[in-house]
Structure 1
C-alpha cells in the first residue's frame, strides 16, 4: 500500500490507531510537546491570539480552535492568558478538533468549566471569525514519498517480504515534474495542504488568524529528503516494526502550507523560528517573573500563596529538574535555544487579507 495509506491507518484507525487508543504524551508516553514542557509556551500563544482578536476589532462570536490539542494543556494556558484581555472570554468560544476518545477525556478535565466543545474535523467548526492554534498537528498528517528510480518518479509503498515482514518498496510510476538524480526523495502532504487551504479560505471569508507551530523546513532543499520517522518511548524507532504502537511523523513543508493558504485567499506571513518568535513575544521576561516567584521563600508558618497569573512550575520541574528555578531556566532553553527546539521548530502565521501584521513574525 502507499506510504500515506499506511501512515493514516497506523495513526487513525478507529480500533488500532496510535492516536485513537492512548495518551502518547509525557514521561510515560512516547514524546513531550512544548505545552507540556512549560506554561510559558501556551501563555504566549494565548497572548498572541488575544492581540489578533483586538486587531480584528474584538468581534463577538469568534471561534478559538485548536487542532490536535493533546491533553488540553495548551488551550488551558492560552485561555488563562488571553482572558486577561477585557471582553475576550465572553466573546470567544473554545473548540478542540480531536479524533481520540482518550485524549478528549483528558482535555475535558483540563478545560472543565471553560465551555469547551469538540469537533472531529476543521470543517465541522461553527461559523464566525476564526482564531486557530495548531501545535505539532501537521507533522502527523499522512505524507506521500516519491522516489526517483531509473529516471522515473515512483510512489514509495509498504509491502510484505518473503518472511512476512513489512518493508519499503516502490509502487506505481507518478507523473511528477522535477529533474532530480536517481535516489532523490520528494515528500508531499496532500492532507496538510488541504487543511491549510481550508484555513486560508475561512480566514479570507470571515477574518481571523492562525498560528501553526511544528518542526520542519521553510523551503524544500534540492534533492529532497526522507524525514519519515517513528518515536516510541522517547527514542527513534523503526516505523515499520510495530504498526499502531509508535508515533509516525514527518517534517512539515511550511512553504507548501503557506502557498495553499494564500491560494485560498489568506495572508501568509514569513516563517519564523520558534526561538526567535517566543523571544519576540517576551518569553525571557516571563521566565524571569516565574523564576523570581519560585525563588521567593515561603512565609513562616504557612505555604506561599500563588502569584497571579498562576506559576505552574511543577510541570517543567517534572520534566527537567526538581528545583523549580532550574526547571524554568531549563524549559526556557529547551523552547528557544537553536540546539534544542528554537530552530528546528518553526512558526507560520496566517491572517485574513488586510489585517495587521501579527506580532512575532
Structure 2
C-alpha cells in the first residue's frame, strides 16, 4: 500500500472530475473557510501567539490552505505556511495557489512553533495491516497476478498512522497549537475497509497496483489514544456535517448566495454534498488534537 500510493501520488494530480476522486475543499470554498474560521477562533482565544504557523498534511492542490488562510488573515494571522507533501505534481499545484509556502517531506520537519494544522484525507492513505482468523492478510503473486491470501478480514491496524499522530501530538504538547483531523473512519472496530478508486469508481485493490488510490478507514479511537499518550488533549469525534453546521456553514452559504444570486442553487448543492447524511456529512468524521495549554476548539460536543 505504501509503495503503490507513493508511486500513485508522485505521478499525477488525482483530484477533480478528470482525476480519480474529489475532496471537500475542491467542492466548495466554504469547507476551507470553516476550517480557517475554527483555527482562527482557537488561535484568538489562545492569545494570538505571534510565532504560530499554518501547516497542512497532504494538502492536495493547496485549495483548503488558500481558503483557510484567507479567513485567518482577516483576523490578523500573519504566520508562515508549511505543507507536508511528497508529490512533485501536487507541490507544483500548491506553489501556484500558495507561492510563499514552504514544503516539507516529513511531519517532523515542521518548524518548532505552535501549529494551526489541518489534515484532510491524509491519514486514510497511510499503509494499513489487516488480520483475519489465520493471522495477517498477505498479498502474493501466482505468476499471472496478485491475490490476497484470505478474503476474511476481522480487524485493521496502521502503525504508520499511530506514528504520525504521536509525532504531531508531541509537537502540539511541546510547542502549542491545534490540529483538525478530517477523514472517513470510525471510533473503534472494523472489518475490511480497504478500497481502491479510479475515475471515481471503486475497483479491486489489486487491479493495476500504483494506478489507483488506495485507502482504508481511519480508526479515530486509536489516533486519540496515541495523541493522549503523548500528552496532547483530544476532543470527541463528530460527523463532518454536524461540525460544519455547528461552525456556521449555513450562514456562510446564505452570505455567498446573497453576493452571488446566480449561484444560489449551486451553493446550496455544495452545502448538501458537504453536510447531508446521504453525501459526505456522515461518512466523514472530524476530531481535534490540541495543546493542553490551548483552549478546546469550537464545534465539538463537550
Pair 1:133 & 2:118 matched: yes
Pair 1:109 & 2:99 matched: no
Q: 1:234 is matched with which residue: 195, 200, 206?
A: 200
Secondary structure at the aligned position of 2:241 is classed as helix
Q: 1:169 is matched with which residue: 135, 143, 149?
A: 149
Q: Which residue is 2:5 aligned to?
A: 11
Contact 1:230 1:246 in 2 (8 A): yes
Pair 1:344 & 2:271 matched: no
Give the Å deviation of 1:63: 2.1
Contact 2:130 2:153 in 1 (8 A): no
Which one has the largest radius of gyration? 1
Pair 1:217 & 2:186 matched: yes
Superposed CA RMSD in Å reads: 1.3
Which 5+ residue runs of structure 2 have no aligned equivalent?
none
Q: Which residue is 1:83 aligned to?
A: 73
Pair 1:207 & 2:176 matched: yes
Q: Which residue is 1:282 aligned to?
A: 248
Matches within 5 A, 1:185-204: 185-204=154-173
Give the Å deviation of 1:184: 4.9
Deviations 1:202-238 (A, max 9, x none): 1111111000000011222xxx310000000000011
Contact 2:195 2:202 in 1 (8 A): yes
Which 5+ residue runs of structure 1 have no aligned equivalent?
1-6, 171-181, 296-322
Give the Å deviation of 1:183: 4.5
Secondary structure at the aligned position of 2:223 is classed as helix
Distance 1:279 1:97 in 2: 28
Q: Which residue is 1:358 aligned to?
A: 297
Secondary structure at the aligned position of 1:24 is classed as coil
Q: 2:209 is matched with which residue: 210, 230, 243?
A: 243
Q: 1:54 is matched with which residue: 21, 41, 44?
A: 44
